[in-house]
Amino acid sequence: MSKVLLTGARGFLGKALLMQLQSAGMQVFGIDMEQGDITLESTLKPYDHEKIGHVIHLAGKTFVPESWDHPFSYYQVNVMGTVNVLEFCRRNKAGLIYISSYLYGEPESLPVSEDHPVKAYNPYSHTKVLAENACHFYSRAYGLKIVILRPFNAYGPGQPSRFIIPEIIAKVKDRDVDLVEVMDLRPRRDFIYIDDLTNAIRLSVNAPPGIYNLGSGYSVSVEEIIKEVMEITGIRKKYRGRGSERPNEIFDLYADITRAKRELNWEPLIRFEQGLAQCING
């Protein structure tokens, strides 16, 4: 039976992944903030004698707007936390599945493949660039087997309300809200449903080392999300964008997932409209 150490086990993605791994017959040790600070060696030391085969590293800070206001904590948790996990893998000769992010900045072409140059365009993405660099170094220097997954925009039931899809759903369904207002209607993103993402992570346990994009392979605009939520709920409201543009905003981005299909034998099964209905009705 495979033994897996899962960091960030009580987060939005972690809870769903924990259930899927256990259903697949894996023995999973889930840790989160309650077990200690991911940046401290003492948090992971108790698992040195459990013969862990793989670590799946989810723990970290993820909200881009917050990273502009509190960059230090993002560097501390996302970079040094990853180095601490790499040290655990080095000590225990364990494989690592590192959940990164899309790091491509303004795309040179679409869809974006894993070979596209990476670029930090906010403090959050810079922490991911640095953490990936640490993974590459440990792989070269210590021979660690590392899979880096770059999910695009994950969504699903239970996602925190500060993210765009639950925010829009809440505003459409709230009887006290007459106008659905968002920062900007224009940006388009590639959304991947939580079940498709957890399935890809599970499959990556046996994948060859490398970098894999995970997404749907197409983009949806903020305005299209609003319209689709109204279509599913049957609620009609006026909507508008405030014309507020985030720093270094990217207006269209979607993934080339050819490598994940080929190497992981994976592809997304949930269309955006289906996933959105699950978020609304679930």
Select from 174, 177, 164, 275 the least CA-distant residue to 226: 164
- Whether 73 is covered by a domain: the verdict is yes
pLDDT tens, position by position, 44-54: 999 999 999 99
Please list the ranges in the chain whose pLDDT falls under 50.
Answer: none
- What does each C-alpha distance from 34 to 11, 37, 38, 130 come to in angstroms? 12, 8, 10, 26
- Whether 143 is covered by a domain: the verdict is yes
- Whether 69 is covered by a domain: the verdict is yes
Q: In whole angstroms, what is the distance from residue 17 CA to residue 171 CA?
A: 28
- Whether 232 is covered by a domain: the verdict is no
φ, ψ of residue 164 to 5 degrees: the values are -65, -40
Q: In whole angstroms, what is the distance from residue 187 CA to residue 173 CA?
A: 22
Report pLDDT for 205: 93
Task: Count CB atoms within 10 A of the CB of residue 169.
Answer: 20
Q: How many domains does the chain have?
A: 1
pLDDT tens, position by position, 173-197: 999 999 999 999 999 999 999 999 9
Share of the chain above pLDDT 70, in %: 100
| Domain containing residue 82: CATH number | 3.40.50.720
- Whether 104 is covered by a domain: the verdict is yes
Domain that holds residue 91: 3-154+193-215+263-269
- Whether 55 is covered by a domain: the verdict is yes
- Whether 87 is covered by a domain: the verdict is yes
Report pLDDT for 235: 98
pLDDT tens, position by position, 103-125: 998 899 999 999 999 988 889 99
Report pLDDT for 1: 58
SS3 of the chain: helix, strand, coil, percent, to 5: 40, 20, 40
Distant-in-sequence, close-in-space partners of 185: CB < 8 Å, separation ≥ 6: 221, 222, 223, 226, 239, 240, 241
Q: What is the pTM of this model?
A: 0.94
- Whether 15 is covered by a domain: the verdict is yes
